[in-house]
């Protein structure tokens, strides 16, 4: 019936005109193949045909004639078309609203499938807005399990259904992506059968089997990638870091506070890892202010005391500079401060060359910088430990570079305030060792979060003034830099103008964003640190790490543009000192606040928020699109332990069969993609 190909644009399908094409493109669907992978969101069961005398309220399908059609207008101007469906057993009323064409298009001598919801309206039972189709083998919206698709403005689920049914025969041309041994061994559907079933299931078992295949397909490359990474890691050597009890004691004694039990436990885990000659691969998660830096530095000094180098990589230069200061203070009591070297891209070449020389001269130097420090010309042959701050992604490629430079793989320690939800950690990141700092150091003040809308804006301003009067400082975060139009009040430049020249003339207001030179950013930041600036208007450049204990207020413009994890990061910029602190979310309308923002106000725990982010936005949203270009609308069901176990079995089978990845280019590509996304080391 059709001579179109999978790669053809959807406009080559009969009946898809320009308007429909554009509407479908909006769904991310361009080719026929895309459309086949546009999976239903749910199903309505209209598969059982009922005798009219047996119908009960709910979804029903009848096989009946339609008589006594009449159309009238209601007082409100609605057109109401009514008819009677009749089969051998009885009759029932049908009603359509605003579907005048029914009146002329229904043939009273024809038998139809009639599907819809049978229910009570006012005083009578009727079937409301039923869809009808003449009796034939392949029906679209009647007498079957009917798939419901996500719609866009100009294309309905019903239209999509019609168009997709037309191209279902193309499934026979779909290329299989999984090895046959896995399909057979795990009892999975072939890809063409799965696609066929998902759009035209004969039973709910069909749907389940198809979904299983799609979910397996999503998870398999990820778990395979983990297994390959684990193998690769286990075959590498790293430098053994000896445990030096005296040093650990000294470090702890010189701290101005006592470590929390969590900090002790995690440091100990790291020491155990680093004593082995296999590379550590550990992620330390802890909410803002949970004291991750001390953990990192205490790990570093152990490596230094064994005579090895340490590299500390921050996501931005600003943070690298800040960290260098903190680290300096922690090293000084041990007399190790001279080993600390800051290396950043914006340093003048002379300064930089000196830093590199020094880093090479000192055998056990502690080098702080951004990612570029790995390629900076420092001799890394005795690099024992890499600490990665707030950067989940450290790819295979970077690892290879290091491996070449160092001749071995260093121990990896990632630290982050954006925790990976547990369920994700167990699957996607299961080659990683996790440490959590769950308890906060004592005396942390809870941050009070609230909404600001036009009607309480003045109260909000007074609150800010009160804080400024007490000598505190304020962050104001904006989602972007430049104003989009004259009405736009969220842009950093606008907010800066408004606050500095109108609202808070008597205070110093600063503007910080990524388009300023690194030098200027640093100057503005140090002015804020030394309280020469009281109000800092900034983009999310201040999201992580920035540490000013005197700041007690965080104001966030356009909060709906940020994820929960990010908002929580921003909130964590305050409440770092001894002062009560506040976080204000500026919203336009008090009645229309997103549910997740309401949750944010109520929940102060980053681990809980990350689970919530996972549930509301899905793993794909959080950790990049794990999908492979095709529009698979199922998200990984990470709480599906059965599926995870089955997929793990599949991975084992793959290894047992000594399958060669090169035979499966598409799988290979997806494994690489998964590694790119999930590799922290
Ligand atoms: P984060 O986990 O957000 O990186 P930091 O390491 O910056 O947190 O620590 C936040 C602040 O808490 C720092 O000023 C640090 O010196 C302090 N701190 C760390 N551990 C403790 C502790 N056990 N008791 C009291 N204060 C601590
Ligand atoms: Mg930190």
Task: Enumerate residue ranges in the chain where pLDDT < 70.
Answer: 1-2, 391-399, 543-545, 617-640, 676-681
d(CA 281, CA 274): 10
Shared-domain flag, residues 581 and 498: yes
Q: How many domains does the chain have?
A: 4
Q: How far is residue 82's CA from residue 68's CA, in Å, rounded to a whole number?
A: 8
CA of 399 to the centre of ligand 1 (A): 30
Flag whether 437 is in a domain. Answer: no
Residue with tokens 């909130």: 571
Domain boundary among 603, 633, 657: 603
Same domain, 453 and 558: yes
- What is the CA angle 279-285-287, rounded to 5? 160
- Give the DSSP H/E element, type plus range, for residue 159: helix 157-167
| 573 CA → ligand 2 middle, Å | 10
**pTM of the full structure:** 0.70
Q: How far, in Å, CA of 384 to CA of 306, rounded?
A: 9
CATH code of the domain containing 493: 3.40.50.300
Residue 440 alpha carbon to ligand 1 centre in Å: 9
* Cα–Cα distance measured from residue 113 to residue 141, given in angstroms and rounded to the nearest whole number: 9
Q: What does the CA dihedral 446, 465, 451, 537 come to, rounded to 10 degrees?
A: -90
The pair of three-digit structure tokens given for residue 582, joined into one six-digit string: 């506040």
Q: Which of 283, 287, 293, 332 to mutate to test the pocket of ligand 1 (most atoms within 8 A of CB)?
A: 293
C-alpha 294 – ligand 2 centre gap (Å):
9
Judgement on whether residues 468 and 518 belong to the same structural domain of the protein: yes
Q: Whose CA is nearest to atom 23 of ligand 1?
A: 259
Q: How many A from CA of 60 to the centre of ligand 2?
A: 59
Atom of ligand 1 nearest to the CA of 286: 2
The answer to whether the CB of 288 is under 6 A from ligand 1 is yes
In a domain, 568, yes or no: yes
**Bridge pairing between strands 535-538 and 58-73:** unpaired
Q: Verify whether ligand 1 is closer than 6 Å to residue 255 (CB atom).
A: no
Whether the CB of 86 sits within 6 Å of ligand 1 = no
Claim to verify: residue 109 and residue 18 sit in the same structural domain:
no
Ligand nearest the Cα of residue 575 is: 1
CA of 359 from ligand 2 middle (Å) equals: 24
- Sign for the CA dihedral angle at 323, 326, 328, 334 comes to negative
Residue 486: count of CB within 10 angstroms of its CB = 7
**Residue 629 falls within a domain, yes or no?**
no
d(Cα 415, Cα 434) in Å, to the nearest integer? 10
Q: Is there a single domain that holds both residue 380 and residue 400? A: yes
Contact 677, 420 (CB under 8 A): no
Cβ neighbours, 10 Å, residue 640: 16
Cα angle 493-499-502, degrees, rounded to a multiple of 5: 120
Residue 291 CA to ligand 1 centre (angstroms): 3
Residue identifier of the C-alpha nearest atom 20 of ligand 1 = 291
Residue 255 counted as domain residue: yes
380 and 505 share a domain?
Answer: no
Ligand 1 centre distance from Cα of residue 259 (Å): 9
Residue 259 Cβ contacting ligand 1 at under 6 Å = yes
Indicate if 35 and 70 belong to the same structural domain.
Answer: no
Query: Which residues form the domain of 315?
Result: 245-275+291-416
Within a domain: residue 188?
A: no
Q: Are residues 260 and 388 in the same domain?
A: yes
Q: Whose CA is nearest to atom 1 of ligand 1?
A: 289
- pLDDT value, residue 660: 83
Whether 296 is in a domain gets the answer: yes
Q: Which of 575, 603, 631 is the last residue of a domain?
A: 603
CA 673, CA 609: separation in Å to the nearest integer?
27
Q: Is 289 in the pocket of ligand 1 (CB under 6 A)?
A: yes
**Residues β-bridged to residue 114:** 62, 132
- In a domain, residue 130? The reply is yes
Token readout for 67 is: 């008589």
Distance CA 543, CA 525 (A): 13
**Dist. CA 288 → ligand 2 center (Å):** 7
CB 130 within 8 A of CB 162: no
pLDDT digits (tens, 9 = 90+) for 106-150: 999 999 999 999 999 878 899 999 999 999 888 888 889 999 998
Calculate the CA dihedral of residues 324, 330, 335, 341 and round it to 10 degrees. Answer: -10
Which of 632, 640, 605, 600 minimizes the C-alpha distance to 616? 600
What CATH number is attached to the domain comprising 78? 2.40.50.140
Residue nearest to atom 15 of ligand 1 (CA): 291
* 408 and 264 within one domain: yes
CA-wise closest residue to 115 among 97, 127, 100, 103:
127
The pairing of beta strand 90-97 with beta strand 79-87: antiparallel
Whether residue 417 has its Cβ less than 6 Å from ligand 1: yes
Which residue stretches of 9-156 are H helix?
18-25, 32-36, 101-105
Determine contact, residues 528/474, Cβ cutoff 8 Å.
Answer: no
Pairing state between β 42-45 and 145-148: antiparallel
Atom of ligand 1 nearest to the CA of 260: 23
Distance of CA 387 from the midpoint of ligand 2 (Å) = 12
- Judge if 77 and 139 occupy the same domain: yes
Q: Does residue 209 come out as left (phi exceeding 0), alpha (psi in the -120 to 50 range) or beta?
A: alpha
CB–CB of 238/296 below 8 Å? no
* Chain position carrying tokens 């080391």: 681
Is the CB of residue 294 below 6 angstroms from any atom belonging to ligand 1? Answer: yes
- Please indicate whether residue 260, judged by its CB atom, sits closer than 6 Å to ligand 1: yes
Q: Which of 263, 264, 289, 576 to mutate to test the pocket of ligand 1 (most atoms within 8 A of CB)?
A: 289
CB atoms within 10 A of CB 338: 13
Please report whether residue 339 resides in a domain: yes
Please check whether residue 20 is in contact with residue 158, taking contact to mean a CB–CB distance below 8 angstroms.
Answer: no
Rg (CA), the chain: 31
The atom number, within ligand 1, closest to the CA of 549 reads 14
Contact 349, 377 (CB under 8 A): no
What per-residue confidence (pLDDT) applies to 618?
A: 65
Q: Point out the domain boundary residue: 584, 603, 622.
A: 603
Which strands make up the sheet holding 411-416, listed edge to edge? 340-343, 366-369, 309-313, 383-389, 411-416, 281-286, 433-437
* Closest-approaching ligand to the CA atom of 571: 1
Same domain, 463 and 382: no
Residues 136, 53, single domain; the answer is yes
In DSSP terms, 162 is beta-bridged to: none
Query: Would you put residue 194 in left (φ > 0), alpha (ψ -120 to 50) or beta?
Result: alpha
């Amino acid at each position: 019936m059709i001579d179109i190909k999978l790669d053809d644009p959807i406009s080559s399908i009969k009946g898809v005109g320009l308007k429909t094409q554009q509407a479908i493109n909006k769904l991310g669907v361009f080719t026929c193949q895309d459309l086949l992978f546009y999976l239903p969101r749910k199903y309505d069961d209209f598969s059982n045909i009922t005798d009219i005398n047996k119908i009960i309220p709910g979804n029903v399908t009848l096989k009946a004639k339609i008589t006594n059609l009449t159309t009238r207008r209601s007082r409100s101007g609605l057109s109401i078309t009514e008819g009677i469906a009749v089969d051998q057993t009885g009759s029932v009323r049908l009603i359509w609203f605003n579907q005048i064409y029914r009146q002329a298009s229904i043939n009273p001598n024809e038998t139809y499938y009639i599907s819809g919801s049978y229910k009570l309206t006012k005083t009578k039972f009727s079937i409301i807005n039923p869809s009808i189709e003449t009796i034939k083998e392949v029906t679209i919206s009647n007498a079957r399990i009917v798939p419901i698709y996500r719609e866009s403005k100009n294309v309905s689920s019903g239209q999509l259904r019609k168009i997709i049914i037309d191209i279902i025969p193309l499934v026979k041309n779909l290329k299989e992506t999984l090895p046959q041994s896995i399909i057979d061994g795990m009892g999975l559907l072939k890809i063409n059968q799965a696609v066929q079933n998902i759009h035209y299931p004969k039973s709910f078992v069909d749907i389940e089997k198809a979904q299983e295949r799609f979910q397996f397909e999503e998870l398999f490359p990820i778990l395979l990638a983990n297994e390959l990474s684990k193998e690769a890691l286990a075959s590498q050597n790293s430098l053994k870091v000896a445990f030096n009890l005296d040093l650990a004691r000294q470090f702890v004694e010189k701290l101005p506070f006592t470590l929390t039990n969590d900090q002790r436990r995690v440091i100990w885990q790291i020491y155990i890892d680093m004593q082995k000659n296999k590379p550590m691969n550990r992620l330390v998660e802890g909410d803002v202010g949970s004291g991750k830096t001390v953990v990192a530095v205490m790990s570093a000094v152990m490596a230094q005391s064994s005579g090895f180098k340490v590299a500390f990589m921050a996501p931005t230069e600003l943070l690298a500079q800040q960290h260098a200061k903190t680290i300096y203070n922690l090293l000084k009591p041990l007399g190790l401060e001279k080993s600390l070297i800051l290396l950043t891209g914006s340093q003048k070449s002379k300064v930089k060359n000196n830093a590199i020389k020094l880093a090479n001269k000192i055998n056990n130097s502690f080098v702080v910088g951004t990612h570029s420090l790995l390629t900076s010309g420092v001799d890394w042959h005795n690099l024992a430990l890499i600490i990665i701050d707030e950067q989940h992604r450290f790819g295979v490629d970077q690892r290879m570079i290091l491996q070449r430079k160092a001749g071995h793989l260093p121990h990896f320690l990632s630290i982050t305030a954006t925790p990976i939800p547990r369920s994700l950690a167990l699957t996607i990141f299961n080659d990683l060792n996790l440490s959590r700092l769950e308890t906060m150091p004592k005396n942390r003040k809870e941050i009070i979060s609230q909404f600001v809308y036009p009607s309480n804006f003045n109260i909000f301003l007074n609150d800010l003034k009160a804080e400024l009067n007490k000598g505190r400082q304020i962050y104001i975060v904006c989602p972007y830099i430049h104003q989009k139009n004259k009405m736009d009040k969220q842009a950093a430049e606008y907010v800066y103008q408004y606050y500095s020249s109108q609202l808070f003339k008597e205070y110093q207001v600063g503007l910080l964003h990524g388009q300023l030179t690194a030098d200027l950013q640093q100057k503005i930041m140090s002015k804020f640190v030394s309280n020469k600036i009281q109000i800092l208007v900034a983009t999310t450049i201040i999201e992580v790490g920035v540490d000013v204990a005197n700041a007690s207020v965080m104001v966030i413009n356009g909060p709906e543009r940020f994820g929960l994890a990010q908002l929580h990061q921003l909130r964590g910029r305050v409440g770092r000192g001894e002062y009560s602190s506040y976080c204000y979310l500026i919203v336009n309308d008090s009645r229309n606040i997103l549910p997740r923002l309401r949750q944010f106000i109520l929940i102060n725990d980053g681990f809980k928020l990350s689970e919530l982010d996972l549930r509301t936005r899905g793993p794909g949203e959080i950790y990049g699109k794990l999908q492979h270009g095709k529009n698979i609308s199922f998200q990984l069901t990470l709480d599906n332990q059965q599926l995870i176990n089955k997929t793990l079995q599949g991975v084992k089978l793959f290894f047992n069969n000594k399958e060669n990845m090169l035979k499966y280019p598409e799988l290979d590509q997806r494994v690489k993609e998964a590694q790119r996304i999930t590799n922290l080391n």
